[in-house]
Structure 1
Amino acid sequence: MPLTRSDFPDGFLFGAATAAYQIEGHGFGGAGPTHWDSFAATMGNVKGGEDGAVACDHYHRWQQDLDLLRDAGMDAYRFSTSWARVLPEGRGALNPEGIAFYDRLVDGMLERGLKPIHTLYHWEMPSTLADLGGWTNRDVAGWFGDYVEVIDDAIGDRVHQIATINEPWCVAYLSHFLGLHAPGLRDIRAAARAMHHVLLAHGEAMTRLRARGRDNLGIVLNFEYAQPAGNSPADLAAAATADAIFNRWFIQAITHGTYPDEAMEGFAPHMPQGWQNDMATIQQPLDWLGVNYYTRHIYAADPAAPTWPRTREVPGHLATTQMGWEIYPEGLHHFLTWLAQNYVGDLPLFVTENGMARDDRVENGKVFDPERMDFIQRHLGAMHKAIGDGANLRGFFYWSLLDNYEWAEGYDKRFGIVHVDYQTQVRTPKASYSMLKDLIAK
């Protein structure tokens, strides 16, 4: 039987998530340039060379978008603020238009009965700070802390929860070692520093927010199930290395003050000097943890690879999304229970992102997306089972409310429960939107 709100604990939050650069239209309202603008302007980095200058024009259409959340019966909205919209140079002079926009946005959520769930950083580093090394520069922790105080002055008194950083693995490893996201580096030294400094910035933000009397503070980490291709010691070690880099690095540092040995095998020679002295700052207690989950990957050893980590991905056999990601709800159950048992105990958990991309088309004014409807129900089933197995799960935010700028995929991949025509900016709720509306009806 399909799950509904009544199958989840009292007070369980249902919502949807977005990110500033992906929907707002960064070309509007006096926002400063970001490293995503320059990354997208470089041939071959983003499909079609597309950027977030217009995106979904949420900057002008935010009231309509908040109405969609309200009309679906959502309890909360997970949104992010853009550092470069608030501080166009990353430091120094404020952008009054940017501050005013977020002020209106939060008031609009509250007027519609939506709890604002605020993410401070969702990947758009101001260009002037990127020029100084961005996440590879230790000073980034102070720069970020200053921005956090500025935006907290503007809206911190009205938000329900605050997350410091979204998906630090993407901020650091995907962007500085694999080079697939801005700033597009493939440099192990840069990656090692970014992997550490992103956590240091998180700790700095937590420290400053606590000093300002804020609570309900957390971070959003992404997890992907790492499965060995076989039972050989080499394949088991390959999966353990991938798991250490992707899944254990950040949560282990925050909760235990250490980094996994399998990841340090590659990163240790390149870590910033004295990194051990930062662990006390990184270990600031969390009030909650956000869990982003989409898929699994299968790993085999690659002894012929010239450099660490000497692993390779092996194709799986499950159905995939438009992104080519296998649909594996069991992985979500694994992480929710694994986190509770090994890292966070009874700390409140939120599934802050989970969703699928699909090649959605409007036909006769409607979008029928049965695969997404099934995806949502199967992952809700994994969440429900995890609650029964002891995970203190308090909410679920579908990714995403709107089709949007999907980073290096440009506007090609559609994750939304609301279709966006990027030429006309017409919003069309999909069948999955209606399903969620019915599912969470009180």
Structure 2
Amino acid sequence: MNIQFPERFTWGAATAAYQVEGAAFEDGKGKSIWDVFSHVPGNIEDDATGDVACDQYHRYPEDIKLMQELNLQVYRFSVSWPRIYPEGTGVVNSKGLDHYDRLVDALLDAGIDPWITLYHWDLPQALHERGGWPNRDIADWFTDYALTMAERLGDRVKHWMTMNEAWVCSYFGYRDGNMAPGIKDHKQALAASYHFNLAHGRAYNAMKAMNPNLKVGITHATQQHRPLDGKPESLALAEFLWQENNGVFMEPIFSGSYPEAIIDRYPESIPVITDADLIEMNNYDFVGLQYYCDNLIRDGKLVAEKLPEFEYTEMGWPVTPDGFYNNIMEYVRRYKPKELAITENGMALDDEVDAEGRVRDVRRQKYIKAHLESVHRAIQDGAPLTGYFAWSFMDNYEWACGYRPRFGLIHTDYATQTRTIKDSGRMFAEIIRNTGW
């Protein structure tokens, strides 16, 4: 199969601060909700924490050289909010700003374009203690932080993402309690979802007013739910889950309202969108879509067991590249976005370095190519896709799963911090070099 992407298509890989930086308590950094949550016994597999992670805070020059070997055009990373504002607001930590200054300059010197995510889940613990995302004041706290970063780095960084996967933060953090901050309250979860949108919009407006040349977007986890039968209850559940996982965050931005199915299900919990808030929310330059798999439905219920007709990843997720195409096109059909980028896509495997010093991750190579075929097909069918970012640049701390799942193009030996480019990373480098295969 001959797959060729547009010449201006952007190729990159992504990480997040808490997952790779380490240096959790160095150079004036404050505590985040993950610094606290991960230290509670039983919250994380093997009680793992991100205290050291991949030590990228200290080792970024080495990692940038590896990015060059992978032919990466872009590195998407997040800023640690408590590294900039240890108390969430107030006094800026100059050592934190200096670190990201050096990182951005080093990337640019290496010919790699930095794309910054402002919030990838590590809320300052001090702001959680003041109400966190369910507190409306967070829209202003976040905007002040966003402006601080844009003022410092906006002369060199063009692409900014305000939030990463707000539905994960809202539902897993505030509804299910299995991720930081560990709260189980559906009303707080929906309040958080509202304030994620409000904070995004308010920060967008402030950043664009300061520098109109910035491109400011937001990323969303694309949750496609696939009925395996045509039963009405299966189709109804698929639509409801689309609206709960996608519509709650996308509809206020694109249409100014919450989905009717969500209003009907949770009439007392849905925040009221005011006209003033809507003006702030309904702004973006691009949307980052993040996809890993379809969630399967049968007989009106989510399928919990593994089905023999599907391959599964180390996370227990089915491999569904055809669902990736369908998901992209469903977003285009429903929301008609101006510009899309795939800001995360990847496969967790139990990778090991063999006796010859190689990681022969054949399944990940097939996964990447199959999903890129779906991206290519979507572009041909009119999706405004402009880039693809592999998740992730390197094996790292995978939140509640600790260090077990390995998503990286680069293998990390956590005991020695040795990095080894996997066969999938070599393949990805060739795809970028040739703009396809």
Q: Secondary structure at the match of 2:417?
A: coil
Question: Which of the numbers 120, 125, 128 marks the counterpart of 2:126?
Answer: 128
In the alignment, is residue 280 of structure 1 matched against residue 283 of structure 2? no
Shift of 1:430: 0.4
Q: Secondary structure at the match of 2:291?
A: strand
Q: 1:131 to 1:117 in 2, by over 3 A?
A: same
Shift of 1:18: 0.6
Residue aligning to 1:16: 13
Shift of 1:301: 6.8
In the alignment, is residue 81 of structure 1 matched against residue 79 of structure 2? yes
Give the Cα separation in 1 of the matches to 2:280 and 2:299: 35
CA deviations on 1:141-185 (whole Å, 9 max, x unpaired) are: 011001111111211211131111010111111211122211111
Give the Cα separation in 2 of the matches to 1:417 and 1:13: 17
Shift of 1:272: 3.8
Question: Which of the numbers 169, 172, 179 marks the counterpart of 2:170?
Answer: 172
CA deviations on 1:72-106 (whole Å, 9 max, x unpaired) are: 21111111101011111101111111111000000
CA deviations on 1:202-236 (whole Å, 9 max, x unpaired) are: 11111111111243111111112112353222222
Equivalent pairs, count: 429
Question: Which of the numbers 412, 420, 425 marks the counterpart of 2:417?
Answer: 425
Give the Cα separation in 1 of the matches to 2:346 and 2:231: 33
Q: 1:187 to 1:276 in 2, by over 3 A?
A: farther
Give the Cα separation in 1 of the matches to 2:423 and 2:18: 26
Equivalences for 1:399-414 in 2 at 5 Å?
Answer: 399-414=391-406
Give the Cα separation in 1 of the matches to 2:303 and 2:225: 10
Q: 1:230 to 1:277 in 2, by over 3 A?
A: farther
Question: Which of the numbers 148, 151, 168 marks the counterpart of 1:150?
Answer: 148
Q: Secondary structure at the match of 2:29?
A: coil
Residue aligning to 1:308: none
**Which sections of structure 1, spanning at least 5 residues, go unmatched?**
303-310
Residue aligning to 1:350: 341
Residue aligning to 2:330: 338
CA deviations on 1:113-145 (whole Å, 9 max, x unpaired) are: 111111110000000001111111111101100
Farther-moved stretch of structure 1 (368-377 vs 292-301): 292-301
In the alignment, is residue 434 of structure 1 matched against residue 426 of structure 2? yes
Contact 2:175-2:189 at 8 Å conserved across structures: yes
Farther-moved stretch of structure 1 (373-382 vs 252-261): 252-261
Q: 1:154 to 1:277 in 2, by over 3 A?
A: closer
Equivalences for 1:36-435 in 2 at 5 Å?
Answer: 36-214=34-212, 215-272=214-271, 277-284=276-283, 286-299=284-297, 312-315=302-305, 316=307, 317-345=309-337, 347-364=338-355, 365-435=357-427
Give the Cα separation in 2 of the matches to 1:27 and 1:268: 43
Give the Cα separation in 2 of the matches to 1:203 and 1:20: 23
Percent identical among aligned pairs is: 40
Contact 2:108-2:114 at 8 Å conserved across structures: yes
User: Structure 1 residue runs of 4+, over 4 Å off?
Assistant: 273-277
Q: 1:182 to 1:272 in 2, by over 3 A?
A: same
Contact 1:163-1:217 at 8 Å conserved across structures: yes
Superposition TM-score, scaled by structure 1 size: 0.94
Shift of 1:314: 4.4
CA-atom RMSD, angstroms? 1.6
Contact 1:27-1:54 at 8 Å conserved across structures: no
CA deviations on 1:244-268 (whole Å, 9 max, x unpaired) are: 1112221221111111112223333
Give the Cα separation in 2 of the matches to 1:362 and 1:2: 31
Shift of 1:298: 1.9
Query: What is the letter of the counterpart of residue 263 of structure 2?
Result: M
Contact 2:88-2:126 at 8 Å conserved across structures: yes
CA deviations on 1:262-290 (whole Å, 9 max, x unpaired) are: 22233330234665652221112x21110
Q: 1:123 to 1:351 in 2, by over 3 A?
A: same
**Which sections of structure 2, spanning at least 5 residues, go unmatched?**
none
Farther-moved stretch of structure 1 (153-162 vs 402-411): 153-162
Give the Cα separation in 2 of the matches to 1:11 and 1:131: 45
Give the Cα separation in 2 of the matches to 1:246 and 1:410: 24
Give the Cα separation in 1 of the matches to 2:181 and 2:266: 19
Contact 1:28-1:59 at 8 Å conserved across structures: no
Residue aligning to 1:305: none
Q: 1:70 to 1:398 in 2, by over 3 A?
A: same
